[in-house]
Chain A
Amino acid sequence: MAEEIKVDDTVDITDVVCPVTFVKAKVALEELEDGQVLSIRMNDGEPVQNVPRSIKDEGHQILKLLDNQDGTYNLIVRKAGEE
């Protein structure tokens, strides 16, 4: 299913900790055009428990969470425009 989604950009937030995880993801999203898709690589544990929710609360569209089977996940997000 994920193969069908075209990813426009990627960001890796496995090198930072909360709350910078979310900030780094947010900055990456801001650099995209509305409707473009970002893949965010994050660690298991707190990041994967919390970052998807934060991105959702910002109004972006979560498409899929992919388990990379190496203790990290890729969250696929479509950028929403400003209301």
Chain B
Amino acid sequence: MADKIDYGTLKKGGFMRQKQKGYFSLRLGIVGGQVTAEQLAAVTDVANTFGHGYIHLTARQGIEIPFINIKDINAVKAALAKGGIAPGVCGPRVRTVTACQGSAVCPNACIDTTTIAQELNDRYFGKELPHKFKFGVTGCQNNCLKAEENDFGIKGGLEVVWEKDKCISCGVCEKACRTNAITMKNGEITIDYDKCNRCGRCAYACPADAYDTTEGYYVYFGGLFGNTVSRGIPVVPFIKDRETLFRVCDAALNYFRENALPGERFKFTLDRLGVDGLKEKVMEAYHG
């Protein structure tokens, strides 16, 4: 039992100090919004035994267990570890990686958000930075996970190419497209790629599998949704493979670490320095 309480360390470990003296709301480490039944059972156990018998769901797919007494910290950690779950983080570092369900479950998805979130988490979770840094991964243009709210947001897309020999000229894709990028004339499809947002709807609606598809990623930089609300901006073109995606992630995080002032959120670094410096670094990464 600690005599001296180091709130800094406690906070790093996801223990959010409550207004009630000696109590913490314990934030858990969750990736992409996925929690196993076994983990839930451990959480239930801790909430009943050490907390007040309830949990709080955070805005970013997290779970907090309020009313954990500081003297119980080690026992709580041990009980959670049995269920395969651990405290999360707060403070100036890479935070919970959020994700929608993606292609594992959702029929609209263009990418496997869950494995991407897991890989982001494995690479970066808890990494120390000038300020907090949030990743979010959404599977398609429907944007259920709100990619542009994050310091680094990823949105899945499908690049589509019409395959004439398979097409039965039914006309379904022309109407399925919400951006009017598709026109059918005399049974021939033309795609205006300046209008196409790679939502994949044409390919998913086509009864003849007449679209060749390549999955990829739109990325957005410097979004935040707190005291200041600002939408992440696109800086690199559509990314067509995971290696490039992670190179771009590395480059953006490095840029942030090297250029942000202490306590400065990514958006404000970009506001202060302009976007060209970041662009140079991430474009280098984009081209390998």
B169/A56 in contact, CB under 8 A: no
Q: Which residue of A lies closest to B207 (CB)?
A: A62
A-B contact pairs, 22 of them (CB 8 A): A49-B176, A49-B201, A52-B172, A52-B175, A52-B176, A52-B205, A53-B176, A53-B201, A53-B205, A56-B205, A56-B206, A62-B172, A62-B207, A63-B168, A63-B207, A64-B168, A65-B170, A65-B172, A65-B175, A66-B171, A67-B171, A73-B175
- Per the bound structure, the CA–CA distance linking A65 and B187 in Å amounts to 12
B206 → A minimal CB distance (Å): 8
Specify which of A1, A49, A61, A67 is in contact with B169 (CB 8 Å cutoff).
A1
A63/B201 in contact, CB under 8 A: no
A57 at the interface (CB under 8 A from B): yes
Query: Could you say which residues of chain B place their CB within 8 Å of the CB of A44?
Result: 175
**Chain A contact residues, CB within 8 Å of chain B:** 1, 44, 48-50, 52-53, 56-57, 61-67, 73, 75
Specify which of B170, B201, B204 is in contact with A62 (CB 8 Å cutoff).
B170
Q: Which residue of A lies closest to B205 (CB)?
A: A53
Number of inter-chain CB pairs below 8 Å: 40
B107/A57 in contact, CB under 8 A: yes
Query: Could you say which residues of chain A place their CB within 8 Å of the CB of B207?
Result: 52, 56, 61-63
Query: Could you say which residues of chain A place their CB within 8 Å of the CB of B195?
Result: none
Query: Do A49 and B171 contact each other (CB < 8 Å), given the known contacts A56-B205, A61-B207, A62-B207?
Result: no
- Per the bound structure, the CA–CA distance linking A66 and B175 in Å amounts to 11
* Consensus secondary structure, chain B interface: loop
- Per the bound structure, the CA–CA distance linking A53 and B206 in Å amounts to 7
Query: Could you say which residues of chain A place their CB within 8 Å of the CB of B242?
Result: none
Query: Do A48 and B175 contact each other (CB < 8 Å), given the known contacts A53-B201, A53-B204, A62-B207?
Result: yes
B178 at the interface (CB under 8 A from A): yes
Q: Which residue of B lies closest to A46 (CB)?
A: B178
Q: Which 5 A-B pairs have the closest CB atoms?
A: A62-B207, A53-B205, A65-B171, A48-B175, A52-B172
Per-position binary interface string of chain B over residues 153-186, scored 1 when its CB falls under 8 Å from any chain A CB and 0 otherwise:
0000000000000001111100110100000000
Query: Could you say which residues of chain A place their CB within 8 Å of the CB of B168?
Result: 63-64
A25 → B minimal CB distance (Å): 14
User: Of residues 198 to 255 in B, which have CB atoms within 8 Å of A's CB atoms?
Assistant: 201, 204-207
Query: Could you say which residues of chain A place their CB within 8 Å of the CB of B171?
Result: 64-67
- Per the bound structure, the CA–CA distance linking A30 and B95 in Å amounts to 50
Using A52-B175, A56-B207, A64-B170 as known contacts, list a sample of 10 further A-B pairs with CB atoms less than 8 Å apart, ordered by residue number in A.
Answer: A48-B175, A52-B172, A52-B207, A53-B172, A53-B201, A53-B204, A57-B107, A63-B168, A64-B171, A73-B175
B197 → A minimal CB distance (Å): 14
- Per the bound structure, the CA–CA distance linking A66 and B171 in Å amounts to 8
A23 → B minimal CB distance (Å): 17
A61 → B minimal CB distance (Å): 6
Q: Which residue of B lies closest to A73 (CB)?
A: B175
